[in-house]
Structure 1
Amino acid sequence: MRTKTICLLNQRYLPRWAVFMIDILICVVSFGMAYFILDGTPLKFQKVWPTPVRAAFIIGANVYFFYMLRTYAGIVRHSTFTDVFRVAAASFLTALSVVIFNMAYFAVSGEKIFLTTGILLYMFFSFTLMLFFRIVVKESYQYLRRMNNSSLKKRVAIVGMDNQTISLGRALTTESDLSFHLIGFLTENSSNKSLSIMGKPVFSLPINKDSLQFAELIKKHQLDGVLMVRDSLSVSETNEIVEACLANSIEVFNVPLVENWNKKEDIQTQIKHIEIEDLLDRRPIEIDTEIIKDDLEHKTILVTGGAGSIGSEIVKQLAVFNPSEIVVLDNAETALYEMELYLNSAFPDLKFSTVLADVRNVERLEMIFSTYKFDMVYHAAAYKHVPMIEKNPHEAVGVNICGTVNLANLSVQHGIDKFVMISTDKAVNPTNVMGASKRAAEMYVQSLQEKIGTHPRFITTRFGNVLGSNGSVIPYFRKQIAAGGPVTVTHKEIIRYFMTIPEACQLVLQAGTMGKGGEIFIFDMGKPVKILDMAERMILLSGLKPYKDIDIQIIGLRPGEKLYEELLSDTSQTLPTYHSKIMVSKVHSENFSSVSEKIQAIVNATSKNKKMDVVIRLKELVPEYVSQNSEFQILDVHHQN
């Protein structure tokens, strides 16, 4: 029965010619019904035209109005009031035109061709039958669709029993089009054992991967998955539930808090598979908003790379602290335009400017600094994709080093108060060009701080990978899973630190309030995550099985990539701050003249099409830079010899 239902639902829509012919057939039947009803009454038909001619005339008029009003054009199974109105209009206009013709003929010849009663009966029957035809088709389709949806719905239970979950349960039971069928509620509170909510049972049992009761419940009720309101649970509770579900091969879905539901979207789109980001053990970050507000309020602020993943989030967080103006600078015109649209919509009262420019163009930057008179600069513009930069070291020098030099020098010339640079954990004992170029940028602003004293204040913030940023591993894995695999991991043992973009930017703003000048602030990134484990979990969370539904392939380390990222070259050289997640690194500052001279040598090397010369000069500036899995390893061998 289910197969037949699916086949019926998959049929093409009735073609227009078929609807047109069925409507004509209905008109013929309607004329016949009117004729036979009147034939048994004292009313006598006019004899001017024979009955077949009268039938052809009135049906022909109806067909003409079908064509004029396109009553056949709509999809019958999706008929609306507009479609019904067209059919009614066609029937009414047919009757009206025939009545007018009948009266005109009578005025000329003194005889009538049609009985007025017959015309009205014909109009009634034809409209009623055509309407009935459309209702039958539409309701039959809806009935079959409901039957089919019911058999295809996922059988789910909701975790928890509070106002949030009860509201979710109510939505599932009242919205018939949802692809979920609610079985009941899950709770670990044994006192709720005999309760039911909205006619659905409450199951009181432990929810963990070793719970036999949970496994038996899944088998007994044929559960396909569970729904949880993630924001009402702790990370540890969420992980325990997810582990239990994955151990029993059922899906886990996440639903936002009721007050966060997007009222413009239906509930279906808001119920999603739980994401790997929800399972990382990250405690909420608390920041001192008052100190940050005092630091940012009524300031004119430049954000470079302001349309990128980090820069755009910095802009969004700056916007709530009432700055005088934010200037969003980026060289990606599409992303910059999208950022402009977002700010206009989300912050209508914010004064901001979007500036299309390249940090390598010092003349352009000079014009921008002269125009806006900045108080602060947040420098997030950078090339960061390790394998791509390994192939193109000239570009890393241009953007990551020269771009920083240009901005830092202009900040000194224009007397800005504070310059906050976004760096990376890859700058610590770098093994690739990208990390070395960021370390070079750090060295320049540190040495410049030593040269000029305390004004402007140059502050560097250093952190690891951010979840969901452009080019990061999680969106990459997500695309591979959606495409059916394989998921590619560079090494079985590779690990990385992760932090969400909002978390990282919160700490950037907080660290910006602490700096006296020349410091490198590092962030507590939590526990490192094994990338292979992450890939396996992401596949499981998608309702699939690793190595069976989606294969995982180990493809080898990419050029310049290392197994373990570090936030510090020596962890003993850190000092705590008043914020538990922010530490300050005591990194030795080089002499400004020496750093400037070596950077100039690197820049000079980029004028030639020789990658090795560029990297040789970079290694002279950053002696701890030792290439790994790269064509530049040969330079380290020669240096050792």
Structure 2
Amino acid sequence: MPSIKQICFNARVLSFAAFAFDVAAVASAWFAAYLIRFNGVPPEPFGKGALEAVLWVLPLYAVLFRVFGLYRGMWVFASLPDLMRIAKAVVSGALLTAVIAVMLQPYPSIPRSVLLVAPILLVMMMGGARGLYRATKEFYRYGGLVAQGKPVLVIGAGHDGASLARELRRSSEWRLVGLLDDDKAKHGREIHGYKVLGSIQDLKAIAEAHKIENVIIAISSAPVEVHTRVAKLCVRAGVRAMVLPALTPMTQGQPFLSRVRQIDLEDLLGREPVSIDAAHVEMLLRGRAVMVTGAGGSIGSELCRQILRFNPAQLIAYEISEYAMYKLVEELQERYPGVAIVPVIGDVKDSLLLDQTMQRYAPHILYHAAAYKHVPLMEELNSWQAIRNNVLGTYRVARAAMRHRVSRFVMISTDKAVNPTNVMGASKRLAEMALQSLQQLSKHTSFETVRFGNVLGSAGSVIPKFQQQIARGGPVTVTHPEITRFFMTIPEASQLVLQASSMGEGGEIFLLDMGDPVKIADLARDLIRLYGFRDDQIKIVYSGMRPGEKLYEELLADEETTRPTHHAKLRIARAREAPEDLLDELLPWLMQHRIPSDDEVRRDLRRWVAEYSPAVSPNLQSVVLGTADSGAAGAGVGRDERRAS
């Protein structure tokens, strides 16, 4: 390996060689201009004048070449900035040469055509030599006539595609075959030497014809619908797709290839990026104590991450799972070392601990994300635990918030609370009704509910289960070929929860815009292809509907109406009001000293929640854990109550 001294010496030699070439190019361009002016044979006086003039023209250009820094770059990486520096130096030299020629008026005078033609020839010689050197180097470095690397297509022949094509010329890993674009005017054209082969719709045929297995999607400025369509085309064409994300402040200045990432499920679902009113959220959270129950769960932990972006004075994380709390605190303390994080291990039904925690830390706002959420697991054998955790737990946290004058209480609810067909959904609707009743009694605390559907990748949800089944080689189990669900990402849901909490005045049920429902069978099929398998390699098996499950979810009950908010993805539901005496009758039932049977729980739920209608007769043998989609987001917590509050 050469030493530093040897490397520096080699660099100086190359720089001097480039300088010598450029000075020689000045002389060549100068004499060539005279030959052109006089058709190859300059008269005696002009030939002698050319020799005399070149003696001062050469030093003049030599100085300007150094002044304009023509030797900072390397010829192998010559590009437009290098050409611009050459042009500036040559134009400056041409102007000075003309001025000196006029001032000195040598005899015979320098022809005006020479003063014009010589600089043009010089730019062509210097720029052309650098371009030829770079092309030759790249030709031999990247495989000569037979290009090396894996064949790849670029989708998008706009600015992103062109920039990516330029970088791929120097890649030893990839060999760009061509580009695809829906703009027919670009078809057959070339970009950096690569042809636009056809439309994006032709992807499958072109990929098969050229034996291409890899595609890079370079349309970062296109609408979300276009991204989704292209991503699905790639997956269904059986190619491995990568995507060039939109430029962000974090990626500013990075090479295009370094920003390319593998396509994921979110690209197939086509969720638009969420934009929240950060100023209002910051006014709510900055410098305040904030409490999150179920802090170790999917939504609870993401809420903690999002909250810490707004610099609260303190985050009180309340969670029953010791391991979930350990993982959360380790992560948050590493990412936000300056914020005080208070980990409290506890049950949301523990009134004494809730009182002690709120009295000691005085939270300004509380996000209640603790819940049992798995539909079939809560439908049989565990229905009473679902009721006590989701309803009694919510009531006790809310009551403690009222006693300690917490300003805002925000509960995470679910689309399964609308016309519920299962115990889990009915328990969340009953919790919503309990908060409605408490709002009528509260003088200092505003109670708000945020209702949304499934979140991608939450604990116990369908996506991780599908991934596990695919990793095992299948089959992938889906309950019904027509079953649909709403989906959104965990960060998206958490950001909208924060936005809603900054807008509420008390008693509202906020609905998040979940977009269009997704057919679970299509989701499973796309996920199989996304992991590089064909439909015949991993099968989809339909296991049948489970207790409490329905084909589609709703975000709004039939008798409910909504009104818009100033945020496009949030609406407010005008839900059915809770009966005035709800709590008087509900609390004795929740705190009874016996465990009612599942049938009794379902019977009594219909008394409190009029819209509840069980969909399927319970049958323990029909429960297939893990093949249903998830319920509301949040952490599953709860222990048997040992004392009534």
Equivalent residue for 2:287, pick from 282, 298, 318 = 298
Distance 1:416 1:259, change over 3 A: closer
> C-alpha distance in 2, partners of 1:154/1:595?
67
Q: Which amino acid aligns with 1:581?
A: K
Q: Which residue of 2 aligns with 1:629?
A: 616
Whether 1:428 aligns to 2:418 is yes
Alignment deviations for residues 544-597 of structure 1 (CA, whole Å, 9 cap, x no partner):
222x11101111112211111111112652222222221111123224543342
| Shift of residue 423, structure 1, vs aligned partner | 0.5
| Shift of residue 537, structure 1, vs aligned partner | 1.9
> C-alpha distance in 1, partners of 2:596/2:604?
14
Whether 1:183 aligns to 2:170 is no
Whether 1:206 aligns to 2:199 is yes
Alignment deviations for residues 512-562 of structure 1 (CA, whole Å, 9 cap, x no partner):
12222111111221111111122222222333222x111011111122111
Contact 2:155 2:219 in 1 (8 A): no
Q: Which residue of 1 aligns with 2:298?
A: 309
Whether 1:411 aligns to 2:363 is no
Distance 1:230 1:361, change over 3 A: farther
> C-alpha distance in 2, partners of 1:301/1:425?
26
Q: Which residue of 2 aligns with 1:5?
A: none
| Shift of residue 434, structure 1, vs aligned partner | 0.6
Q: Which amino acid aligns with 2:538?
A: I
Distance 1:219 1:514, change over 3 A: closer
Matches within 5 A, 1:570-585: 570=558, 573-585=561-573
Alignment deviations for residues 401-449 of structure 1 (CA, whole Å, 9 cap, x no partner):
1211111110111011110010011111111111111111111111011
Distance 1:300 1:245, change over 3 A: closer
Distance 1:215 1:581, change over 3 A: closer
> C-alpha distance in 2, partners of 1:167/1:258?
13
Q: Which amino acid aligns with 1:587?
A: A
Distance 1:268 1:441, change over 3 A: same
Matches within 5 A, 1:63-102: none
Equivalent residue for 2:268, pick from 271, 279, 283 = 279
| Shift of residue 362, structure 1, vs aligned partner | 1.6
Contact 1:207 1:240 in 2 (8 A): no
Secondary structure of the residue aligned to 1:253 is strand
Distance 1:258 1:464, change over 3 A: closer
| Shift of residue 489, structure 1, vs aligned partner | 0.8
> C-alpha distance in 2, partners of 1:530/1:490?
11
> C-alpha distance in 1, partners of 2:362/2:406?
8
> C-alpha distance in 2, partners of 1:608/1:305?
24
Alignment deviations for residues 360-399 of structure 1 (CA, whole Å, 9 cap, x no partner):
2221112111110111100001110111111211221232
Matches within 5 A, 1:516-531: 516-531=505-520
Gaps of 5+ in 1: 1-145, 634-641
Higher-RCO chain (CA-CA 8 Å, sequence separation at least 6): 2
Which of the pair is proportionally richer in helix?
1
> C-alpha distance in 2, partners of 1:466/1:602?
29
Matches within 5 A, 1:165-176: 165=161, 176=172
Greater alpha carbon shift after TM alignment, 333-342 vs 187-196: 187-196
Equivalent residue for 1:536, pick from 505, 525, 529 = 525
Alignment deviations for residues 236-288 of structure 1 (CA, whole Å, 9 cap, x no partner):
2223323443554433223556779999xx99998654223212243333221
Matches within 5 A, 1:113-192: 154-161=150-157, 165=161, 176=172, 178=173, 180-188=174-182, 190-191=185-186
Distance 1:603 1:562, change over 3 A: farther
Q: Which residue of 1 aligns with 2:384?
A: 394
> C-alpha distance in 2, partners of 1:474/1:272?
20
> C-alpha distance in 2, partners of 1:154/1:553?
35
Q: Which amino acid aligns with 2:403?
A: Q
Q: Which residue of 2 aligns with 1:620?
A: 607
| Shift of residue 624, structure 1, vs aligned partner | 1.9
Matches within 5 A, 1:188-267: 188=182, 190-191=185-186, 193-197=188-192, 201-208=194-201, 211=202, 214=203, 217-229=206-218, 231-246=220-235, 248-256=237-245
TM-score, normalization by structure 1: 0.68
TM-score, normalization by structure 2: 0.67
Alignment deviations for residues 38-70 of structure 1 (CA, whole Å, 9 cap, x no partner):
xxxxxxxxxxxxxxxxxxxxxxxxxxxxxxxxx
Whether 1:343 aligns to 2:336 is no
Contact 1:444 1:596 in 2 (8 A): no
Contact 1:448 1:592 in 2 (8 A): no
Matches within 5 A, 1:359-374: 359-374=348-363
Contact 2:388 2:590 in 1 (8 A): no
Whether 1:560 aligns to 2:560 is no
| Shift of residue 496, structure 1, vs aligned partner | 0.9
> C-alpha distance in 2, partners of 1:300/1:463?
26
> Between Structure 1 and Structure 2, how many residues are aligned?
474
> C-alpha distance in 1, partners of 2:293/2:334?
21
> C-alpha distance in 2, partners of 1:251/1:334?
36
Alignment deviations for residues 114-134 of structure 1 (CA, whole Å, 9 cap, x no partner):
xxxxxxxxxxxxxxxxxxxxx
Contact 1:602 1:618 in 2 (8 A): no
| Shift of residue 459, structure 1, vs aligned partner | 0.5
Distance 1:561 1:220, change over 3 A: closer
| Shift of residue 475, structure 1, vs aligned partner | 2.2
Equivalent residue for 2:427, pick from 437, 440, 448 = 437
Alignment deviations for residues 574-621 of structure 1 (CA, whole Å, 9 cap, x no partner):
22222222111112322454334224213316x336333333332321
Q: Which residue of 1 aligns with 2:12?
A: none
Q: Which amino acid aligns with 1:629?
A: V
> C-alpha distance in 1, partners of 2:542/2:453?
23
Distance 1:161 1:376, change over 3 A: same
> C-alpha distance in 2, partners of 1:171/1:485?
39
| Shift of residue 623, structure 1, vs aligned partner | 2.3
Secondary structure of the residue aligned to 2:534 is coil
Q: Which amino acid aligns with 1:399?
A: N
> C-alpha distance in 1, partners of 2:272/2:245?
18
Contact 2:232 2:526 in 1 (8 A): no
Distance 1:230 1:397, change over 3 A: farther
Whether 1:450 aligns to 2:440 is yes
> C-alpha distance in 1, partners of 2:189/2:392?
70
> C-alpha distance in 2, partners of 1:249/1:614?
49
> C-alpha distance in 2, partners of 1:374/1:361?
17
Secondary structure of the residue aligned to 1:574 is strand
Q: Which amino acid aligns with 1:513?
A: S
Contact 1:424 1:464 in 2 (8 A): yes
Contact 1:615 1:632 in 2 (8 A): no
Q: Which residue of 2 aligns with 1:604?
A: 592
Identity %: 40
Contact 2:164 2:257 in 1 (8 A): no
Equivalent residue for 1:378, pick from 359, 367, 383 = 367
Secondary structure of the residue aligned to 1:604 is coil
> C-alpha distance in 2, partners of 1:448/1:216?
62
